[in-house]
Structure 1
């Protein structure tokens, strides 16, 4: 199953606000959804990396999707991650998130053990056969230790197995192969090529990407909507300036001391600290066992927001 037309524009990967005892903070999630929708974004992606999906229980995942779908009320498409180690477990997530109302599912390659391209293709074919909604591939080699080959993505797109790709590989040349192939292949229609990079959205759109799924769009959705509009209007200088402003703001993900926490703790912690400082969410905690930012690191996030005019 594919999209009737490519999904385009800015599709933020929505953070999951948590209470101090690490339950889903539904009131904060509702405010975050409104914050994003009112900025003019073109869709929402829940249960991805920025959503801390890997840390959430199945019950919490279902609650996030149900809450988001109900609050959006059909105004925008809601994509939901169905991310797990093996095909049977992914199929369980597909059934859960689609029953909760997701308009599409986003699926990585299997992980834990390394998989062959033929096994990856089989995985997506089995998922698509069981899914009542379009399937978007999620290229996340940093998380699943496998890079999705462009030829496999295009083959599955031509079969109607994949409706799109969220590329978080950092391989712009490889992403270009998919974008070009999807545009020129006579059997591919309605395919959405989306970059997951915060830093090269202007470049990705220039080479033909359909849209972007940047985690920083939680913090500054207006900036990414503005960037998307400038790119589509052909205003290269304006787009470059906006992209460079966002690149500077993205520096907040490096405020933490790498000697005491990982890059994911630092990035997600910074996004949540920023949302808390902006009054969008009540509590900036991240899921266990991620390490929280210190008061000094939160103050540095505040400085980034102030410099960007977001406070």
Structure 2
């Protein structure tokens, strides 16, 4: 499938910059074969996301290879996206860093560049939740942008229990959303909703593997970089239109590809980049090192699965 409109129901949705919902796609960062940021491919990718009907774009997430970007690269990504998207959907910028001072610098730069929201994970391996809460309070003090708290213990080493989000609601005025990436996500979505008294909008993640069930639990959307975003748009819009059965049928049809793409052992980003290259959206599937490469058998399996699903 080379065009978003080949999946019935995919369409562009214009929303208020202050309201995050639906699919806020985690954008890849395209590189040239020599590892430089490929701005031309990035603009094509942004156009592709918008044509697929995404409800928002999230930059500098794990799937954007944020840990391998220089500060100049970060600025290029943010400035290119904000200017190219031009307010058509909200742009959320990842501002996570090991320390609070560094995080605040990233937040200020994102705000100055025109971001609509920011996403911040806890500082790595900070197990003292009082310190984590201090971190988020500091973020709230330097920017009025809506804050997405990224609950991602696999990368950060920080487990945020549901009760923590009750404290967030009380003490972090700009906190509006949570991206839940701790499995089992479904129970945690329900537990956070209860602890935060439904005052935080919840987004799923984990490649989209539980998207339908997360919606059924009250999530407002998902942040993921799945390489066929028009599928997730259709799932969300059918669900919001009251067609839960249609949403579930669409989701379960494409779940094998979602599952295949989420293989952490060969890095989901490498598979995603290869799919976007196959779809003619980006020029190169280059992933900055260190990163494992996809072997020929995995590529053959991917091609077979995409063909089997009629994509």
TM-score scaled by structure 2? Answer: 0.89
User: Which runs of 5 or more structure 1 residues have no equivalent in the other structure?
Assistant: 256-262
Residues 11/291 of structure 1: CA separation in 2 closer, same or farther (3 Å cut):
same
1:298 matched to which residue of 2?
299
1:276 matched to which residue of 2?
277
- SS of structure 2 residue aligned to 1:178: helix
1:164 matched to which residue of 2?
177
2:188 matched to which residue of 1?
174
- SS of structure 2 residue aligned to 1:193: strand
User: Which runs of 5 or more structure 2 residues have no equivalent in the other structure?
Assistant: 1-15
State how far apart, in whole Å, the 2-side matches of 1:106 and 1:254 are. Answer: 21
1:98 matched to which residue of 2?
111
User: Which of the residues 30, 53, 56 maps onto 2:69?
Assistant: 56
State how far apart, in whole Å, the 1-side matches of 2:18 and 2:225 are. Answer: 24
State how far apart, in whole Å, the 2-side matches of 1:195 and 1:211 are. Answer: 7
1:200 matched to which residue of 2?
210
1:41 matched to which residue of 2?
54
**What's the offset of the Cα at 1:123?**
0.5
Deviations 1:182-206 (A, max 9, x none): 4x46xx4xx3211113111111111
Whether the 8 Å CA contact 2:17–2:87 is kept in 1: the answer is: no
**What's the offset of the Cα at 1:5?**
6.3
- SS of structure 1 residue aligned to 2:283: coil
Which piece of structure 1 moves more, 222-231 or 246-255? 246-255
State how far apart, in whole Å, the 2-side matches of 1:264 and 1:107 are. Answer: 25
Deviations 1:42-66 (A, max 9, x none): 1000100111111111111111111
Which piece of structure 1 moves more, 244-253 or 283-292? 244-253
User: Which of the residues 148, 152, 157 maps onto 1:145?
Assistant: 157
2:247 matched to which residue of 1?
239
**What's the offset of the Cα at 1:130?**
1.1
Whether the 8 Å CA contact 2:189–2:217 is kept in 1: the answer is: no
Residues 157/246 of structure 1: CA separation in 2 closer, same or farther (3 Å cut):
farther
User: Which of the residues 66, 85, 88 maps onto 2:79?
Assistant: 66
Whether the 8 Å CA contact 1:199–1:246 is kept in 2: the answer is: no
Whether the 8 Å CA contact 2:17–2:89 is kept in 1: the answer is: no
C-alpha RMSD over aligned residues: 1.9
State how far apart, in whole Å, the 2-side matches of 1:4 and 1:115 are. Answer: 33
Whether the 8 Å CA contact 1:109–1:144 is kept in 2: the answer is: yes
Instruction: Work out whether 1:249 is the aligned partner of 2:257.
Output: yes
2:9 matched to which residue of 1?
none
Which piece of structure 1 moves more, 84-93 or 166-175? 166-175
**What's the offset of the Cα at 1:264?**
5.8
Residues 254/196 of structure 1: CA separation in 2 closer, same or farther (3 Å cut):
closer
